[in-house]
């Protein structure tokens, strides 16, 4: 069997990586596994042991997916919490100002919530006073 094909059987090693490894050790791409000296095989083994392949790579990919999924859920929770805060502030302003929204109140809300006054006033435009 060709050495390049043997390297490509590892999860995470494709054509590009196997070609680079072969070039690093000056091995021709059609070389057979049996024709490689034992010193070179030991060097290839040492090279592969430093790389993330097979189980290590699968574990890293799984951890990355879980991390990104958690980040996405945190982002959605933040958006939901922000809308809840806006709803609470709407109710308070409706109670305090009895139908009139003062621009200073909008500035106060925007500094608390982190939104600009136009997006907050857009939320208030749907409310009947």
Give pLDDT, residue 100: 46
Give pLDDT, residue 128: 46
- Residue 69 in any domain: the answer is no
Instruction: Look at 46-55, 67-76, 108-117 and tell me which has the smallest mean pLDDT.
Output: 108-117
Judged by phi (left if over 0) then psi (alpha if -120 to 50, else beta), residue 128 lies in beta
- The domain boundary, picked from 34, 50, 66, lies at 50
- Taking the model in full, what pTM does it have? 0.53
Phi, psi torsion values for 98, nearest 5 degrees: 45, 50
Please report the sign of the dihedral spanned by the C-alpha atoms of residue 21, residue 24, residue 30, residue 32: negative
Give pLDDT, residue 101: 46
- Residue 59 in any domain: the answer is no
CATH number of residue 35's parent domain = 1.10.8
Q: Quote the domain boundaries for residue 21.
A: 3-50
Give pLDDT, residue 120: 53
- Total domains in the chain come to 2
């Amino acid at each position: 069997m060709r050495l390049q094909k043997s390297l490509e059987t590892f999860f995470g090693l494709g054509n590009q990586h196997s070609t680079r490894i072969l070039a690093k050790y000056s091995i021709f791409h059609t070389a057979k596994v049996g024709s490689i000296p034992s010193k070179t095989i030991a060097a290839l083994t040492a090279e592969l042991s430093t790389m993330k392949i097979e189980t290590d790579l699968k574990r890293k990919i799984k951890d990355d997916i879980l991390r990104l999924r958690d980040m996405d859920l945190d982002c959605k929770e933040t958006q939901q919490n922000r809308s809840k805060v806006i709803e609470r502030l709407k109710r308070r302003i409706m109670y305090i100002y009895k139908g009139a929204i003062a621009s200073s109140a909008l500035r106060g809300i925007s500094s608390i919530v982190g939104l600009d006054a136009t997006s907050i006033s857009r939320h208030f435009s749907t409310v009947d006073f």
